[in-house]
Amino acid sequence: MTRTPFRAMPFRFSRTLAAFAAGGLLAVAASHADLSLISASKAATNGTTPPASAIQAAPANAPAAAPLAALPDFSALVEQVGGAVVNISTVTLAKNSPVNGLNPNDPFYDFLRRFGIAPGMGSPQPQESRGIGSGFIVSPDGYVLTNAHVVADADEVVVKLTDKRDFKAKVVGIDRRSDVALIKISASNLPAVKIGSPERLKVGEWVAAIGAPFGFENSVTAGIVSAKSRALPDETYVPFIQTDVAINPGNSGGPLFNLKGEVVGINSQIYSRSGGYQGISFAIPIDVAMKVKEQLQKTGKVQRGRLGVTMQPVTKELAESFGLEKPNGALVTGVDRGSPADKAGLQPGDVIVALDGVALEEATDLPRKVGDSAPGTKLSLTLLRDGKRLEKQATLAAMPNETTARSQEAPAGGRIGLAVRPLSKEESAALGTSGVVVVGVNGPAARAGLQEGDVVLAVNNTRVATPAQLKELVDQGGKRFALLVQRGDARLYVPVRVD
Q: Which residues contact 17 (CB under 8 A, 6 or more apart)?
A: 71
244 is an active site residue? no
**Whether 382 and 478 share a structural domain:** no
Cα dist. 37→29, 41, 50, 244, 367 in Å? 12, 6, 10, 38, 61
Both 222 and 144 in a single domain? yes
The Cα 489–Cα 400 span in angstroms is: 11
Q: Is the pLDDT of residue 243 over 60?
A: yes
Quick one: 31 and 133 in the same domain?
yes
Catalytic residue among 179, 336, 350, 454: 179
- Same domain for 418 and 384, yes or no, is no
**pTM for the whole structure:** 0.64
Confidence band for 56, pLDDT divided at 50, 70 and 90: very low
Residue 252 within any structural domain of the chain? yes
Total number of domains in the chain: 3
Partner residues linked to 381 by β-bridges:
355, 392
Q: Give the dihedral sign, CA 461/466/469/470.
A: positive
In a domain? residue 67: no
Same domain, 343 and 357: yes
Band (pLDDT 50/70/90 cuts) for residue 424 is confident
Domain co-membership, 437 together with 465:
yes
pLDDT (0 to 100) of residue 325: 83
Model pLDDT, residue 351: 93
- Do 33 and 163 fall within a single domain? yes
pLDDT category of residue 126 using cuts at 50, 70 and 90: low
Question: Alpha-carbon Rg of the chain, whole angstroms?
Answer: 28
Arithmetic mean of pLDDT over the chain: 79
In whole angstroms, what is the distance from residue 172 CA to residue 194 CA? 21
Averaged over 138-157, what is the pLDDT?
94
User: What gap in Å lies between CA 225 and CA 239, rounded to an integer?
Assistant: 14
Whether residue 118 is contained in a domain is answered as no
pLDDT band at 121 (very low <50, low <70, confident <90, very high): very low
Q: Which candidate in 14, 89, 134, 149 is catalytic? A: 149
CB 453 within 8 A of CB 436: no
Domain with residue 412: its CATH number is: 2.30.42.10
Among the listed residues 14, 97, 252, 268, the single catalytic one is 252
Return the higher-pLDDT residue of 274 and 482. 482
- pLDDT for 285 equals 96
Residues 161 and 205 in one domain: yes
- Residue 117 within any structural domain of the chain: no
pLDDT over 70 (residue 340): yes
Give the up-direction half-sphere exposure of residue 290: CA atoms within 13 A in the CB hemisphere: 16
Domain limits at 25? 1-47+73-94+127-302
Asked if residue 319 belongs to a domain, the reply is: yes
- Please confirm, yes or no, whether 179 is among the known catalytic residues: yes
Query: Which of these three, 398, 423, 458, is where a domain ends?
Result: 398
Least confident of 164-173, 241-250, 342-351, 442-451: 442-451
286 and 331 part of one domain: no
Q: Higher confidence at residue 442 or residue 156?
A: 156
Give domain status of residue 222, yes or no. Answer: yes
Do 376 and 411 fall into the same domain?
A: no
What integer pLDDT is reported at residue 130 of this predicted model?
A: 87
